[in-house]
Amino acid sequence: MNSPRLQLRGITKRYPGVVANRSVSLDVAPSEIHAVLGENGAGKSTLMKIIYGAVKPDEGEVLFNGQAVQIRNPQEARALGISMVFQHFSLFDTLTVAENVWLGLDKSLTLQDVRQSIRNKAEQYGLEIETERPVHTLSVGEMQRVEIVRALLTQPQLLILDEPTSVLTPQAVEKLFVVLRRLADEGCSILYISHKLHEIRALCSHCTVLRGGEVTGVCDPRQESNASLSRLMIGAEPAVMAPRPVRQGAAVLRVRQLSLDSDDPFGTDLQGVSFDVCAGEVVGIAGVSGNGQSELLYALSGEDVRAPVGSIAVRDQDVSQANPVVRRRLGLHFVPDERLGRGAVPTLSLAHNLLLTRSNAVGPGGWLRLGPLREQAQAIIERYKVKANGPQAAAKSLSGGNLQKFIVGREIEAHPQLLIVSQPTWGVDVGAAAQIRAEILALRDAGCAVLVVSEELDELFDISDRLHVIAKGQLSPSLNRAEASVELIGQWMSGLWSGTPSTKEVPHVAS
């Protein structure tokens, strides 16, 4: 029998105040699709970075194809045959897609060769990519597509995938799974990190569970249920959200015939977008990244103030060209999909990051009320179970899922009348995702109007009362959750809905 493709022996990595990995051992065989499962902060990402050479372990040994190796950087990892798709992307903002991919490939290739290879690979996997776009113009989902294609172009022997399907339609996920299974059949080993338990059960043959940086279990996920995998990962099953009656009130957000040219030459123009979000309801917008979500969110949040007069109203007040401060005073709060940079300032503490949405923390003469800020940050940390070294911890020191919990908690605890959330549980473990969704529903039940833009259909089906789909800058008609199906929404994601984008007001639902 062939030796394992990858062996980890006693891997330990310490950071100030935390042990990220403690004596972790793991074997991955050739042709094996192996899941690494754990809640946010369990040490998964650190372990993957050690394998990829981005982090050096304090103790332990890494063997690749039976040989002990010291992988000092990602370039050496790629030379060995290890490629990785990060949850937090490693792209240069000022370079184009093709230039970013070229950096990780054989320099004997010309840039034109790389462009053509990207197009071929993207077409093979159903991932639309424009090779000449600068990375800073891409949405989060589009950046992830670039990372996936870049990794696959290296013809890896070991491919590490960290949350790879969050940007794909259900049909595209199935196509990607076919490709991954074919890669495995050809001898490629795959380490697969996902919080979508049904994906792990459908795709993976082995699973290693981490909790608190230690291996706490191994299993064959094909023999497990979602509930049993949840118990292995977090020690309990997430609460089941029972259907609740909708007590819809007056429209809090009204969008009418919003047509707006993207200020990004590679962006998507909005075309006649119209919809309402009423008090006491959650409206979900599904769609593949890059179809106008960013343009719509910027126009709604006030980051883009070029919307036509009369096209956006909050509580019957025209805010089409109002800045975010004016909209916040009307009760609009916003959670962007980009955690570091838009959602939080990386180098500032969690307490100081509250200043992004808390104007009452500034006292007379412009002095900051640091005591109340720290108390509010600590309350969010405790309520949302954020793993952080206190309110003074820098935002960049948190894992992606824990930072997401803090940002969502920060906006919910501001008691909004209108909450707009983009990708609320992207990269968040199953327990934390259930908590965030429950908090959103509790906010809805308290009378808040909630708009959720997400590429996670399961999430939208769990929390939405009504659904739209955005495709090519147009918005589909409204669809009650009870009438929606994965197949129908998947078709609509390609723009295949009957009629033209909805321009009618939604019917009022009696309480």
In this predicted structure, the answer to whether residue 498 has a pLDDT above a threshold of 50 is: yes
Which percentage of the chain shows pLDDT scores above 90? 60
Residue 459 in contact with residue 439, Cβ under 8 Å? no
Confidence of residue 288 (pLDDT cuts 50, 70, 90): confident
pLDDT, residue 334, reads: 97
Residue 220, exposed/middle/buried by CB under 10 A (0-12, 13-18, 19+)? exposed
Query: Of 340, 350, 346, whose CA–CA distance to 370 is shortest?
Result: 350
Domains of the chain as residue ranges with CATH: 6-234 (3.40.50.300), 241-331+416-511 (3.40.50.300), 343-415 (no CATH)
Of 124-138, 196-210, 472-486, the range with the lowest mean pLDDT is 124-138
Distances (CA, A) of 18 to 305, 392, 398: 43, 15, 11
pLDDT confidence of 435, banded at 50, 70, 90? confident
Check pLDDT > 70 for residue 168: no
Q: What are phi and psi of 376, to 5 degrees?
A: -65, -45
pTM for this structure? Answer: 0.72
Determine contact, residues 291/469, Cβ cutoff 8 Å.
Answer: no
How many Å from the N-terminal Cα to the C-terminal Cα in the chain? 65
Per residue in 237-269, pLDDT tens?
666 656 567 778 999 999 999 999 999 888 899
Cβ-contact 280, 419 below 8 angstroms: no
Q: Enter the DSSP assignment of 470.
A: E
- The CA distances from residue 208 to 26, 211, 450, in Å, are 8, 10, 37
* Three-state SS letters, 214-263: EEEEEECHHHCCHHHHHHHHHCCCCCCCCCCCCCCCCEEEEEEEEEECCC
Q: In this structure, are residues 218 and 278 in contact, taking their beta carbons and an 8 Å threshold? A: no
pLDDT digits (tens, 9 = 90+) for 200-223: 999 999 999 999 899 999 999 999
Taking 80 as the threshold, does the pLDDT of residue 465 lie above it?
Answer: yes
